[in-house]
Chains A and B, each alone.
Chain A
């Protein structure tokens, strides 16, 4: 299993966190996993929506001390 890579997009506004995630995922291999850190509240809706639309896999999301931790896996 590949190591979870962290993308720190804290303190950036929409659509910054999504674009950061996409640029990493575009260069990744199938099965690679990422944990996106975001303080942008919209990310909690936008990222799962994008993941669903393009066919990747949502692993989890949780808020810890005001930071969203959104875990995803590249599925194709």
Chain B
């Protein structure tokens, strides 16, 4: 039976984004209904002209950045959407604050969504925060 899994991404650290993307991609590809909500610094990686490199928090982040065999978090989020129909939603507050237009947002993202809606949809389901 498919589960509902909600992932809340707020950090821009490489380790946290990578782990969030791993959870989202594996769960979505395994048939779970996955929704990822991006806000705060995590949003910077999905807006044109903003962050490019995710800073490492520690040794693991540096190891992952140096090894070409580690799939990037952006690639894994794309897998989640393509292979498992995961919804990748930008926080509407973050989009407004960044003054980002629809064209500025990464095409992998769905429509800007409010926190109230996200929390309402996530009620009673598993929620992972990164």
Contacts and interface: CB of A to CB of B under 8 A. Distances in A.
Contact of A18 (B26, B67, B69, B70): B26
Contacts of B115: none
B53 to A, nearest CB: 19
Interface SS, B side: helix
A62 interface: no
Contacts, number: 40
Interface of A: 11-16, 18-19, 22-23, 26, 46, 50, 53-54
Interface size class of B (residues with CB under 8 A): 10 to 19
Interface SS, A side: helix
A26 B83 contact: yes
A23 B83 CA distance: 7
9 contacts: A13-B67, A13-B70, A15-B25, A15-B26, A15-B71, A16-B71, A19-B29, A23-B82, A54-B30
Given A19-B79, A19-B83, 11 more contacts: A12-B69, A13-B69, A15-B25, A15-B26, A15-B71, A16-B71, A18-B26, A19-B71, A22-B29, A23-B82, A50-B30
Interface of B: 22, 25-26, 29-31, 67, 69-71, 76, 79, 82-83
Contact of A16 (B29, B30, B31, B69): B69
Contacts of B79: 19, 22-23
Contacts of B29: 18-19, 22, 50
